[in-house]
Homo-oligomer: A and B are copies of this chain.
């Protein structure tokens, strides 16, 4: 047997389609205010600020700030590119909550429901607790707990994020598996001894602009959470 007790999931890109969701939510919020934007370009620009904004925390230049706070600053940074330098604060705050209303890829809810029978499940995301909780309610993610950046008070790929998740579930590193659509996440987890599963999301950044294959050796490589359940669950194998 594989000896895995807990599965930890990356969320943005791996479980939810942040790009078309942000495009839809931001267009939907701005249209009634008479503002038309290219929603996908807006989503891409906002997401492009994501990794750089976390570096300030990872390096210790900025005390831990949850992702909602970073998203809000990143929004301020990109609004001028879309001719929205004068957008009012209330609308900015409303836009920021678009990240709490992302839709899952279609295979996720049923796949997680199957995995839950055999494993403890938790997001190990850079998203904060309230953001994860809102996505869970919206998409029926059956989490046992929410671990990840806000729990660790640092951002992936810093080791404490993965290790505090495993510790919270009483797992040795090898009893936990990180599930992600991004090679970098899995490289960091594997370096600490966690097992790894790569889920292909080849369209994450638009058609053909996502990782179709893992760029590092992994324990499992699948095209959906349902396929991961088929591979991992004893009950499915009988």
- Docked-complex contact B150 and A144, CB < 8 angstroms: no
A120 nearest in chain B by CB position: B133
A171 nearest in chain B by CB position: B130
Q: Please measure, in the bound complex, the distance between the C-alpha atom of A136 and the C-alpha atom of B145, giving whole angstroms.
A: 10
Chain A, interface size category, equals 10 to 19
- Docked-complex contact A145 and B129, CB < 8 angstroms: yes
Q: Select one of B128, B132, B150, B169 contacting A130, CB under 8 A.
A: B169
- Docked-complex contact A168 and B120, CB < 8 angstroms: no
Q: Please measure, in the bound complex, the distance between the C-alpha atom of A46 and the C-alpha atom of B179, giving whole angstroms.
A: 39
Q: Please measure, in the bound complex, the distance between the C-alpha atom of A130 and the C-alpha atom of B151, giving whole angstroms.
A: 14
Say yes or no: is A137 at the interface (Cβ < 8 Å to chain B).
yes
- Docked-complex contact A133 and B145, CB < 8 angstroms: yes
Say yes or no: is A147 at the interface (Cβ < 8 Å to chain B).
yes
Q: Please measure, in the bound complex, the distance between the C-alpha atom of A34 and the C-alpha atom of B98, giving whole angstroms.
A: 60
- Docked-complex contact A130 and B68, CB < 8 angstroms: no
A123 nearest in chain B by CB position: B145
- Write the nearest CB–CB distance from A167 to chain B, whole angstroms: 8
Say yes or no: is A146 at the interface (Cβ < 8 Å to chain B).
yes
- Write the nearest CB–CB distance from A191 to chain B, whole angstroms: 23
Q: Select one of B137, B150, B168 contacting A129, CB under 8 A.
A: B168
Which among A128, A129, A169 has the highest number of chain B CB atoms within 10 Å?
Answer: A129
Say yes or no: is A170 at the interface (Cβ < 8 Å to chain B).
yes
- Docked-complex contact B147 and A168, CB < 8 angstroms: no
Known: A137-B144, A145-B146. Contact between A129 and B169, CB under 8 A?
yes
Q: Select one of B68, B133, B168 contacting A128, CB under 8 A.
A: B168
Within 8 A of B (CB), among A131-152: 132-133, 136-137, 143-147, 150-151
Within 8 A of B (CB), among A56-86: 68
Q: Please measure, in the bound complex, the distance between the C-alpha atom of A68 and the C-alpha atom of B168, giving whole angstroms.
A: 11
- Docked-complex contact B144 and A133, CB < 8 angstroms: yes
- Write the nearest CB–CB distance from A141 to chain B, whole angstroms: 11
Q: Please measure, in the bound complex, the distance between the C-alpha atom of A136 and the C-alpha atom of B129, giving whole angstroms.
A: 18
Q: Please measure, in the bound complex, the distance between the C-alpha atom of A133 and the C-alpha atom of B133, giving whole angstroms.
A: 15
Binding site for B on A (CB under 8 A): 68, 120, 128-130, 132-133, 136-137, 143-147, 150-151, 168-170
Show 11 A/B contacts (Cβ-Cβ < 8 Å), sorted by A: A68-B170, A120-B130, A128-B168, A129-B147, A129-B168, A130-B169, A132-B145, A133-B144, A133-B145, A136-B144, A145-B145
